[in-house]
């Protein structure tokens, strides 16, 4: 099921490639995680379709990686010595803190649900 607005096709392809090469997933497994057909994954690979933010989050959760950390792993700096290196460092720090905050929120929600049930 596709929800939300698709991200860039370049990012979507990079995510699929990373999941296959670095995490050892098959395209069929990726399709199963996202509840889409393998044909959809092929269309993503062919840059005919893009993954949504929600789908990227689902994939990150499925492989046990924080969303921001996954994006950092997939998109290394193109020019590490560029004038934007310091800005990227700051952006990375923000993503890491955001990932920590999301984890804390999810844990709090789970704890509250456990005490109510």
Residue 54: domain span: 1-64
Number of domains the chain contains: 2
77, 30 Cβ separation under 8 angstroms: no
Same domain, 114 and 83: yes
Cα separation, 93 vs 87, in Å, equals 10
pTM for this predicted structure: 0.69
Predicted confidence at residue 2, as pLDDT, reads 46
What CATH number does the domain containing 54 carry? 1.10.260.40
Same domain, 4 and 55: yes
Instruction: Report which of residues 2 and 104 the model is more confident about.
Output: 104
What tens digit of pLDDT does each residue of 6-16 get?
A: 668 889 999 99
Predicted confidence at residue 58, as pLDDT, reads 93
Cα atoms in the Cβ-side hemisphere of radius 13 Å centred on 58? 18
In a domain, 71, yes or no: no
Same domain, 50 and 102: no
What tens digit of pLDDT does each residue of 24-83 get?
A: 999 999 999 999 999 999 999 999 999 998 999 999 999 988 888 888 888 776 666 666
Same domain, 56 and 16: yes
Same domain, 51 and 84: no
In a domain, 95, yes or no: yes
Mapped onto helix, strand or coil, the DSSP state of residue 52 is strand
The vertex-69 CA angle with 42 and 32, nearest 5°, equals 30
20, 42 Cβ separation under 8 angstroms: no
């Amino acid at each position: 099921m596709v929800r939300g607005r698709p991200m860039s096709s370049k990012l979507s392809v990079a995510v699929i490639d990373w999941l296959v090469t670095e995490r050892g997933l098959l395209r069929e497994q990726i399709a199963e995680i996202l509840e889409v057909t393998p044909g959809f994954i092929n269309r993503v690979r062919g840059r005919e379709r893009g993954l949504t933010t929600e789908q990227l989050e689902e994939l990150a959760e499925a492989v046990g990686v924080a969303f921001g950390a996954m994006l950092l792993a997939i998109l290394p700096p193109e020019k590490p010595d560029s004038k934007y290196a310091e800005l990227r460092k700051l952006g990375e720090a923000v993503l890491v803190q955001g990932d920590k905050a999301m984890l804390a929120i999810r844990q709090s929600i789970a704890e509250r649900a456990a005490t109510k049930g």
